[in-house]
Amino acid sequence: MFRDKTCGELRLADAGRSVRLAGWVQRVRKMGGMTFLDLRDRYGITQVVFNQEVNPEVCGIANSLGREYVVEISGKVEERTSKNPALPTGDIEIIASDVKILNKSEIPPFTIEDNTDGGDDLRMKYRYLDLRRPCVRKNLELRHKMAFEIRRYLDSKGFLEIETPILVKSTPEGARDFVVPSRMNPGEFYALPQSPQLFKQLLMVSGYDRYFQIAKCFRDEDLRADRQPEFTQIDCEMSFVEQEDVIEMFEGLVKHIFKYTKDIEFADPFPRMTWADAMRLYGSDKPDIRFGMQFVELTDLAQGKGFSVADDAQIVVGICAPGCASYTRKQIDQLTDFVKRPQVGAKGMIWVKFEEDGSVKSSVGKFYTEEQLKEWGERADAKPGDLLLVLTGETMKTRKQLCELRLEMGNRLGLRDKNVFAPLWVVDFPLFEWDEETQRYYAMHHPFTSPNPEDIPMLRTDTGNVRATAYDIIVNGTELGGGSIRIHDAALQDEMFELLGFTPERAHEQFGFLMDAFKYGAPPHGGLALGFDRFVSILAGLDTIRDVIAFPKNNSGRDVMNESPSPIDDAQLDELRLRLVPADGEEKK
Amino acid sequence: MFRDKTCGELRLADAGRSVRLAGWVQRVRKMGGMTFLDLRDRYGITQVVFNQEVNPEVCGIANSLGREYVVEISGKVEERTSKNPALPTGDIEIIASDVKILNKSEIPPFTIEDNTDGGDDLRMKYRYLDLRRPCVRKNLELRHKMAFEIRRYLDSKGFLEIETPILVKSTPEGARDFVVPSRMNPGEFYALPQSPQLFKQLLMVSGYDRYFQIAKCFRDEDLRADRQPEFTQIDCEMSFVEQEDVIEMFEGLVKHIFKYTKDIEFADPFPRMTWADAMRLYGSDKPDIRFGMQFVELTDLAQGKGFSVADDAQIVVGICAPGCASYTRKQIDQLTDFVKRPQVGAKGMIWVKFEEDGSVKSSVGKFYTEEQLKEWGERADAKPGDLLLVLTGETMKTRKQLCELRLEMGNRLGLRDKNVFAPLWVVDFPLFEWDEETQRYYAMHHPFTSPNPEDIPMLRTDTGNVRATAYDIIVNGTELGGGSIRIHDAALQDEMFELLGFTPERAHEQFGFLMDAFKYGAPPHGGLALGFDRFVSILAGLDTIRDVIAFPKNNSGRDVMNESPSPIDDAQLDELRLRLVPADGEEKK
């Protein structure tokens, strides 16, 4: 061992002790006849002192050290005269008797500090140096701790972690599957799993009534800002349960994680909201309930007064921004610009100011009397000083636009504190989603999701309104995960496939082995999956999952550190019996 | 919830209690007016009783149940009149008041019992039913428990579990890499990792001084009896350590696992043996030391007596089989046939019987006097009644043949008890392995393995005898895992690459990003990896890793349950800009 203590553990009580430390040179300062070295490792920073007079040779080596050199230091712990309260080790320093250079370092391309001078691309190229920065390290430490606590909780509840394969069956329509050619079975391919869904349902058939896995999943799709081609999922399934049992178990998990990693206790059950309410009150199936500003529908009040924008709309809906009546013309214009951005897509924004003096000002003053606008205010529970912001149009689109505006107002008013956590269950999702383009229904979750038993009679008569036994867990407006009770009845599953437009052949081709398994005694079962990367990033207070992944890929699915993906040898292609087709469609020799 | 108790937990103390159970019908027996149902779930089997007279309707349903039906039972716990001591629940039974069929089952293709009537292929095709058998379930339960305890131990030692990517860089010469075409980067491929080796060394450069991961690894190679294309590795790395530190840490891990999963405590340190001794005494770098029968070299005694088989041999070496002088001609012939099998490859076998009466009988009695053979016996420490078995030939080959014979004798003499565990460290491996075919040295472990510091001066002068700072851990003759101290010095690494015949270009192409990283302050580091599947199978007392994997593949890399790998759509190939080349070399339209 090159050390007997770490750079994070020495305290005043250790004064007088002889120690050996090893780590990286954070910085070296010469002050008069003394040289001060900040030595860094995973556990912290310890100050080391070299005295030119007492030990000129050793001090000379210290003076030669560059940033990020790896050194081993021997010395004695002493109380510091000028303590550094910002450091846990700030009460002591090491009076060095020896220093050994274990490895040199070139000058790193950016500073190894939380506030680094390195840009994003540079840090990704040198990710191994970026990972030295304490703020990045803390994310990975949190990730480890969370994974450990997840396992501790689930193990204590009798769950078994069972590894399912990474090389799985490629399914037709698996456009988003990564595929893996098999050398031993030329012309055939494995796929990488988008989730262990089929396997976990098989495990239920096999009687493993409480399964979980922290599982790698894969999607070969265009990466939006915050997606990765490989990601990690906390995948869970239980047998002999109903929705309430699943929700209770995993609410317990989320509470456990908050308690043991953030020291936050949630005394009460997490609130629940139906999907219909979430859409109606927040215009989103993942509402951020850290703040209010629920939607207020004004359609009946706004229509029939000769204002065609309202009259032609399916919905007139607003939010009341507290204390914002004082907004200037410029601020209001910014908000109007915000909702008119193509990403939001509104045509315009109506505003009504309820002034402190009781008067009302509005962008639609020509169309409505002050009395009428006061009615709007009453319905919105607007207080003097509040600002009502109203959008109009087609119901679902307008709600989504207003959702964006609400979140923007939340940001502006500082109501979205990263240290406040507001979990929420959204329940009673629709089972089906209508697709205009293909003019058919799709499963909103997946084709194994069970309908709400009450709604089974409506499956064919009122398909669009059938509720699923499906639930999502939301934290701070981000979907942490979700799941459903699955169909375990073969006849009902057949009906679902039919409604979803699967021919029996295609259903069998795609899910055959699961459907075969279901013939041999499938128990009632259900489960859920949580996005682990997302879970860590929420608790770390980060906006992107990339920062909680040790070696992430960029938006093109590339690892810029090791330059993958990359071309492979022709010999290897030959072995796989594959040939590349260049972009112009000509064969490559 | 469809139950309030499991089928494994009710005891006499629960008598009188009303309960609800759910599970699978193991069997139904009608006896007079009573029907007995064995209800099975993951936790055990509970007997349920239906009374035709008391509750004819419910009893009628019970009589209609087939094997593997899924049912929910309500009833009252009662003490049994005829108890079943073989079952933990054998003191009680449930007097059923109601039974609900949750799902039917077709007749399963084999019996769901430890002693099943299903053959291997059938069980793999219906793996989801095979997994219901208690003996298979116990393996997966053990696997879960071991994974959990591994994490608990390593977490307590300050290790961080850090996920490394599954989509990694494809390297030239990566013939055994699975590759994954990238749709977003056409013509380019990821590879699936054979191990996280490069990433864990990068993490050491990044300062994560104690890393581990229970990691999926992949190899696209012809599968020997006990290989899988994807397997799981306990992958570990530490910084600022020497060999002794690594061995101590992971000996601690192995002891922890034995203690908490098998209740076996190893009081003493595991024995250690140099690679040279292991080869000399056992003819193997993974000796099974559950039993003795160490090799005895007889070359000097056997040569020069006119027996050309001995005279022409590089080595004459034997083992002393205790108490086997009584072996019949037929038994001896069986052993001779054994060593002459092509898998072993010896030309013949010499035997010497040291009879109880002090006389000596031998297959080479014409060439050696009884006195001379008694000298052999003395060296082998043969007692009256022992049998000396001797092979001759080229040193390494003969040792390997004798190793097979020794293991065979161990089996015959019942010395390889699966409930006895004999761990062993093998150390001081050679750094290089000479390949006759290509006439060059290869790294025995991998090119980052550090030479023993004492042997660095011999790198160019006595290359073949340079020892590595590498170590394997062996249990019962099976390699559980191994590792090494890595080279952290760039100059030494360059020398290694040169000795291994890498041009600087090729070294850079293959390991460039690691070598770049090493320029920025690489700490001394080392680690090890344990085969997790193997570890579980050893503790489960199984001969193959397949039985400890939930969904294994067969020897052709196929999952016969879901029929993967499988062909993919032309449209998907087009998107990947790939074309299949049929076996005859013609393009496929």
Domain of B314, CATH number, reads: 3.30.1360.30
A57 inside 8 A of chain B by CB? no
ipTM of the complex: 0.95
> Does B534 lie in the same domain as B432?
yes
Q: pTM higher than 0.90, yes or no? A: yes
CB contact under 8 A, B551 and A164: yes
Residues B178 and B190: their CA atoms lie apart, in Å, by 8
A102 inside 8 A of chain B by CB? yes
User: Residue A448 belongs to a domain with what CATH number?
Assistant: 3.30.930.10
User: Which ranges of A55-133 does DSSP label H, i.e. alpha helix?
Assistant: 56-64, 120-125, 127-130
| Chain B partners within 8 Å of A230 (Cβ) | 165-167
* Residue that finishes a domain, picked among A60, A79, A103: A103
CA B406, B408, B409: angle at the middle one, nearest 5? 65
Q: Which of B112, B204, B218, B562 to mutate to test the interface with A (most CBs of A within 10 A)?
A: B562
Dihedral sign, CA of A80, A83, A84, A87? Answer: positive
Dihedral sign, CA of A37, A39, A44, A47? Answer: negative
Residues A492 and A495: their CA atoms lie apart, in Å, by 5
| Chain A partners within 8 Å of B162 (Cβ) | 140, 143-144, 550
Task: Tell how strand A578-580 and strand B18-31 pair up.
Answer: unpaired
> Does A162 lie in the same domain as A33?
no
Residues A17 and A4: their CA atoms lie apart, in Å, by 11
> Does B330 lie in the same domain as B269?
no
How close A362 gets to chain B, by Cα (Å)? Answer: 50
Residue A589 within a domain: no
- Do residues B58 and B97 lie in contact, with contact meaning Cβ atoms separated by under 8 Å? yes
> Does B492 lie in the same domain as B536?
yes
Residues B371 and B359: their CA atoms lie apart, in Å, by 10
A230 inside 8 A of chain B by CB? yes
CB contact under 8 A, A562 and B42: no
**pLDDT of A588 higher than 50:** no
B486 inside 8 A of chain A by CB? no
Residue B205 within a domain: yes
Residue B126 within a domain: no
A212 inside 8 A of chain B by CB? no
> Does A301 lie in the same domain as A267?
no
- Do residues B383 and B324 lie in contact, with contact meaning Cβ atoms separated by under 8 Å? no
* Residue that finishes a domain, picked among A78, A103, A128: A103
Q: Nearest residue on chain A to B134, judged by CA atoms?
A: A207
Structure tokens at A66: 């560059």
CB contact under 8 A, A564 and B191: yes
CB contact under 8 A, B203 and A549: no
Question: Which residues are registered as beta bridge partners of A30?
Answer: A35
- Do residues A548 and A139 lie in contact, with contact meaning Cβ atoms separated by under 8 Å? yes
- Rounded to the nearest angstrom, the gap between the alpha carbon of residue A366 and the centroid of all alpha carbons in its chain is 46
Q: Please tell me what DSSP assigns to residue A546.
A: G
- Count CB atoms within 10 A of the CB of residue A379: 16
What does the pLDDT look like over B427-473, one tens digit per residue? 999 999 988 888 888 888 888 999 999 999 999 999 999 999 999 99
Strands, E, within B219-305: which ranges?
230-239, 272-274, 296-297
A70 inside 8 A of chain B by CB? yes
Question: Which residues are registered as beta bridge partners of B527?
Answer: B237, B484
User: Residue B86 belongs to a domain with what CATH number?
Assistant: 2.40.50.140
CB contact under 8 A, B566 and A163: no
What does the pLDDT look like over A325-383, one tens digit per residue? 999 999 999 999 999 999 999 999 999 999 999 999 999 999 999 999 999 999 999 99
When pLDDT is cut at 50, 70 and 90, the band that residue A582 belongs to is confident
- Rounded to the nearest angstrom, the gap between the alpha carbon of residue B100 and the centroid of all alpha carbons in its chain is 44
Q: Measured between CB atoms, which of B522, B558, B579 is closest to A579?
A: B579
What does the pLDDT look like over A519-552, one tens digit per residue? 999 999 999 999 999 999 999 999 899 999 999 9
C-alpha distance from residue B261 to each of A87, A158, B91, B144, B256 (Å)? 42, 16, 27, 10, 8
| Chain B partners within 8 Å of A163 (Cβ) | 143, 216, 232, 549-550
Q: Measured between CB atoms, which of B141, B184, B581 is closest to A556?
A: B184
Q: Please tell me what DSSP assigns to residue A223.
A: -
Number of domains in chain B: 3
Nearest alpha carbon to residue B30 among B7, B58, B56, B62? B62
When pLDDT is cut at 50, 70 and 90, the band that residue A586 belongs to is low
- Count CB atoms within 10 A of the CB of residue A456: 12
Mean pLDDT value across residues A209-234? 91
B86 inside 8 A of chain A by CB? no
CB contact under 8 A, A22 and B240: yes
Q: Could you write out the DSSP letters of every residue in B475-541?
A: ETTEEEEEEEEBP--HHHHHHHHHHTT--HHHHHHHHHHHHHHTTBTPPPEEEEEEEHHHHHHHHTT
Q: Could you write out the DSSP letters of every residue in A405-422?
A: HHHHHHHHTT---TT---
pLDDT at B584: 65
> Does B427 lie in the same domain as B405?
no
Q: Measured between CB atoms, which of A23, A132, A151 is closest to B148?
A: A151
Residue B1 within a domain: no
With tokens 């409505």, the residue in question is A368
CB contact under 8 A, B207 and A517: no
Residue A384 within a domain: yes
- A99 by Cβ neighbours in 10 Å (0-12 / 13-18 / 19+) ranks as buried
- Do residues B205 and B522 lie in contact, with contact meaning Cβ atoms separated by under 8 Å? yes
CB contact under 8 A, B566 and A169: yes
C-alpha distance from residue A568 to each of A578, A587, B182 (Å)? 11, 16, 12
Residue A286 within a domain: no
Residue A284 within a domain: no
Q: Measured between CB atoms, which of A141, A230, A241 is closest to B160?
A: A141
Nearest alpha carbon to residue B212 among B221, B203, B222? B203
Task: Tell how strand B230-239 and strand B525-531 pair up.
Answer: antiparallel
Q: Measured between CB atoms, which of A42, A206, A230 is closest to B132?
A: A206
Nearest alpha carbon to residue A186 among B567, B29, B185, B91? B567
* Residue that finishes a domain, picked among B376, B391, B412: B412
Interface of B with A in 140-159 (CB under 8 A): 140-141, 143-144, 147-148, 151, 155
How close A161 gets to chain B, by Cα (Å)? Answer: 5
Q: Which of A138, A520, A553 to mutate to test the interface with B (most CBs of B within 10 A)?
A: A520
pLDDT at A589: 43
How close A488 gets to chain B, by Cα (Å)? Answer: 8
Q: Please tell me what DSSP assigns to residue B140.
A: H
Residues A184 and A193: their CA atoms lie apart, in Å, by 20
User: What is the extent of the structural domain holding A203?
Assistant: 137-273+423-570
How close B540 gets to chain A, by Cα (Å)? Answer: 16
CB contact under 8 A, A566 and B172: no
Q: What is the edge-to-edge ordering of all strands in the sheet holding B423-427?
A: B160-161, B210-218, B230-239, B525-531, B478-485, B470-475, B423-427, B272-274
| Chain A partners within 8 Å of B203 (Cβ) | 128, 131, 550
C-alpha distance from residue A159 to each of A146, A258, B34, B152 (Å)? 17, 20, 36, 16
Nearest alpha carbon to residue A482 among A269, A275, A283? A275
pLDDT by residue for chain B (589 residues), tens only, comes to: 999 999 999 999 999 999 999 999 999 999 989 999 999 999 999 999 999 999 999 999 999 999 999 999 999 999 999 999 999 999 999 999 999 999 999 999 999 999 999 999 999 999 999 999 999 999 999 999 999 999 999 999 999 999 999 999 987 665 689 999 998 888 999 999 999 999 999 999 999 999 999 999 999 887 776 889 999 999 999 999 999 999 999 999 999 999 999 999 999 999 999 999 999 999 999 999 999 999 999 999 999 999 999 999 999 999 999 999 999 999 999 999 999 999 999 999 999 999 999 999 999 999 999 999 999 999 999 999 999 999 999 999 999 999 999 999 999 999 999 999 999 999 999 999 988 888 888 888 888 999 999 999 999 999 999 999 999 999 999 999 999 999 998 889 989 999 988 888 888 877 888 889 999 999 999 999 999 999 999 999 998 999 999 999 998 899 999 889 999 888 888 888 899 987 765 554 4
CA B93, B22, B34: angle at the middle one, nearest 5? 40
Q: Measured between CB atoms, which of B128, B163, B168 is closest to A564?
A: B168
CB contact under 8 A, A523 and B103: yes
| Chain A partners within 8 Å of B188 (Cβ) | 564-567
Q: Measured between CB atoms, which of A162, A524, A549 is closest to B144?
A: A162
Structure tokens at A251: 């609410």
Residue B418 within a domain: no
> Does B528 lie in the same domain as B457?
yes
Q: Measured between CB atoms, which of A24, A185, A583 is closest to B186?
A: A583
How close B131 gets to chain A, by Cα (Å)? Answer: 6
pLDDT at B502: 87
**pLDDT of A584 higher than 80:** no
> Does B386 lie in the same domain as B253?
no
Least confident of A219-228, A232-241, A339-348: A219-228
| Chain A partners within 8 Å of B70 (Cβ) | 521-524
> Does A433 lie in the same domain as A362?
no
- Do residues A540 and A142 lie in contact, with contact meaning Cβ atoms separated by under 8 Å? yes
Judged by phi (left if over 0) then psi (alpha if -120 to 50, else beta), residue B433 lies in beta
> Does A357 lie in the same domain as A448?
no
- Count CB atoms within 10 A of the CB of residue B479: 16
Mean pLDDT value across residues A187-207? 95
> Does A375 lie in the same domain as A428?
no
Residues B480 and B263: their CA atoms lie apart, in Å, by 19
> Does A142 lie in the same domain as A93?
no
CB contact under 8 A, A565 and B183: no
- Do residues B391 and B355 lie in contact, with contact meaning Cβ atoms separated by under 8 Å? no
Structure tokens at B287: 């000796």
Nearest alpha carbon to residue B207 among B164, B238, B163, B243? B238
